[in-house]
């Protein structure tokens, strides 16, 4: 028997738990001996999840999967919330002892900060999953000043996690060099696990649903699709400048599908600033289970992650989903391993600059890819998803950590 405490820094209904954590938790559970149990910690921003029928429904569902759920109220970083975080720390320390937890497994370095402290208190081994820079990323996207207390604390805790963790699971192999340069820590073994995709859910048979195309007014359109947010770690003005260039390039046959929670007024404001006709833009907010049907309406997709230094070590979830649906992708240079994969396999366009000339060159590249016969093109791109994003990659990693068998 082996019991695992899994700590996240997100709310249970957040896509980062639903699509970026729970599928892997199920894979971890498969590697554990009979009688083992997983204890999952989430930090809830919505109080309604913490009580009543909603909480019971989640609890029952997870219990059937061998997972015990421990939701806590989320508190933003700050001096005023420090005593509340101490209470959470003490509760989890008691949980580790009472439930005979063997390993503390944390998702990303924010959760890893809590995991590090628990590991020091209890002496339990620490695993950091989705290991990538967070403190420097917060500076690069303008959220924290480099001299802020929040940055200094988290950066120091990232160093300490790196030194203490028995296993580190990164999105890219480049984190080994980053850790040596930034944290002065040589990592003996680094497991690499990108954001994997459910190739059964994201099935090319779900492409170009005629009824859905008609409903959205996209029949016979050349559709650019994007699923995600604008602002923060994502570009905004550059995206709409690119889409305006695409409208000029393809004219009336071009359409845009944005799967996002942004309001119509926000979208119209960006369109107006870039000279993009808002009438060609369709916006929908879609549950993750329905995302494949909507992504599948696209002819190509965009991944507008800001090309700051730390994004070399991230793992855009959407790229694997786009590839699984056979879509070529337009992406900035220097994003994870994905920009290099797209160049190497000629399955999209990589933007080295953000200007009209670069956009026009990317659009010509997309034209060339779309000229490839549909079945051949779609299958070739999906093969890339299978090579780089199948869940079997993650399964090998967790087998190496929890079953004692060689990982990837």
At residue 82 the predicted structure's pLDDT band, cuts being 50, 70 and 90, is confident
Q: How confident is the model at residue 403 (pLDDT cuts 50, 70, 90)?
A: confident
Co-location of 148 and 246 in the same domain: no
Q: Say whether both 271 and 183 belong to one domain.
A: no
Rounded mean pLDDT of the chain? 94
Q: Looking at the domain assignment, is residue 408 inside a domain?
A: no
User: Averaged over 16-26, what is the pLDDT?
Assistant: 93
Rounded to 10 deg, the angle between the 237-250 and 264-274 helix axes is 70
- Residue 377 and residue 235 share a domain: yes
pLDDT at 299: 98
Per-residue pLDDT at 49 exceeds 90: no
Q: What is the mean pLDDT of residues 125-151?
A: 93
Number of domains in the chain: 2
- Whether residue 78 lies inside any domain: the answer is yes
Quick one: average pLDDT of 223-239? 95
What average pLDDT does this structure show over 66-78? 86
Same-domain pairing of 210 and 350: yes
Query: Are 45 and 163 contained in the same domain?
Result: yes
Query: Could you tell me if 51 and 66 lie in one domain?
Result: yes
269 and 290 part of one domain: yes
Residue 265 in domain: yes
Burial of 9 (0-12, 13-18, 19+ CB in 10 A): buried
In a domain? residue 407: no
State mean pLDDT over 55-65: 93
Residue 98 sits in the same domain as residue 236: no
pTM for the predicted model, two decimal places: 0.92
pLDDT in tens, 155-180: 999 999 999 999 999 999 999 999 99
Looking at residue 402, its pLDDT comes to 95
Same domain, 353 and 241: yes
Question: Domain holding 330: CATH number?
Answer: 3.40.50.2000
Binned at pLDDT 50, 70 and 90, residue 181 comes out as very high
Cα(366)–Cα(203) distance, integer angstroms: 22
- In this prediction, residue 150 carries a pLDDT of 87
State the pLDDT at residue 407. 45
Per-residue pLDDT tens over the stretch 357-392: 999 999 999 999 999 999 999 999 999 999 999 999
Task: Tell me the residue range of the domain where 243 lies.
Answer: 204-388
Whether residue 287 lies inside any domain: the answer is: yes
- CB under 8 Å to 255, separation ≥6 — which residues? 217, 218, 221, 222, 223, 224, 280, 282
The answer to whether residue 336 is domain-embedded is yes
Residue-level pLDDT at 408: 43
Across the range 317-345, mean pLDDT stands at 97
Give domain status of residue 301, yes or no: yes
CB 372 within 8 A of CB 354: no
Nearest Cα to 136, choosing from 156, 166, 163, 164?
A: 156
Q: How far apart (Å, rounded) are the C-alpha atoms in residues 113 and 43?
A: 14
**Residue 248 counted as domain residue:** yes
Same domain assignment for residues 187 and 253: no
Q: What is the pLDDT of residue 46?
A: 77
Mean pLDDT of all residues in 175-201: 96
405 pLDDT band (50/70/90 cuts)? low
pLDDT exceeds cutoff 90 at 51: no
Please tell me whether residues 166 and 285 are part of one structural domain. Answer: no
226 and 329 belong to one structural domain: yes
């Amino acid at each position: 028997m082996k019991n695992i405490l899994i700590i996240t820094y997100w709310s249970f209904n957040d896509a980062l738990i639903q699509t970026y954590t729970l599928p892997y938790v199920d894979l971890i559970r498969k590697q554990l001996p009979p009688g083992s149990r997983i204890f999952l910690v989430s930090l809830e921003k919505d109080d309604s999840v913490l009580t009543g029928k909603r909480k019971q429904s989640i609890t029952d569902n997870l219990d059937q999967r061998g997972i015990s759920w421990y939701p806590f109220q989320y508190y933003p970083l700050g001096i005023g919330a420090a005593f509340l975080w101490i209470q959470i720390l003490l509760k989890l320390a008691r949980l580790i002892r009472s439930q005979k937890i063997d390993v503390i497994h944390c998702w990303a370095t924010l959760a890893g900060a809590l995991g590090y402290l628990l590991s020091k208190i209890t002496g339990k081994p620490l695993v950091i999953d989705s290991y990538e820079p967070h403190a420097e990323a917060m500076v690069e996207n303008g959220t924290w000043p480099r001299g802020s207390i929040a940055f200094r604390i988290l950066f120091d805790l990232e160093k300490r996690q790196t030194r203490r963790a028995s296993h580190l699971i990164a999105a890219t192999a480049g984190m080994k060099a980053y850790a040596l340069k930034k944290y002065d820590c040589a990592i003996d073994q680094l497991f690499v696990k990108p954001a994997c995709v459910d190739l059964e859910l994201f099935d090319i048979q779900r492409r170009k649903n005629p009824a859905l195309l008609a409903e959205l007014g996209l029949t016979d359109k050349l559709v650019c699709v994007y699923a995600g947010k604008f602002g923060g770690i994502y570009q905004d003005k550059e995206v709409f400048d690119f889409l305006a260039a695409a409208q000029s390039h393809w004219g009336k046959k071009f359409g845009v599908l944005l799967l996002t929670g942004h309001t119509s007024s926000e979208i119209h404001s960006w369109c107006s600033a870039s000279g993009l006709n808002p009438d060609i833009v369709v916006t929908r907010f879609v549950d993750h289970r329905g995302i494949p049907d909507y992504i599948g309406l696209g002819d190509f997709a965009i991944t507008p992650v800001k090309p700051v230094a730390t994004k070399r070590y991230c793992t855009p979830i959407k790229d694997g989903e786009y590839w699984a649906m056979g879509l070529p992708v337009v992406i900035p240079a220097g994003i994870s391993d994905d920009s290099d994969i797209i160049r190497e396999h000629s399955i999209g366009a990589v933007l080295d600059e953000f200007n009209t000339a670069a956009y026009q060159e990317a659009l010509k590249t997309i034209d060339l890819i779309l000229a490839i016969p549909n079945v051949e093109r779609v299958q070739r791109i999906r093969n890339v998803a299978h090579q780089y994003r199948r869940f079997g990659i993650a399964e090998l990693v967790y087998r190496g950590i929890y079953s004692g068998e060689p990982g990837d």
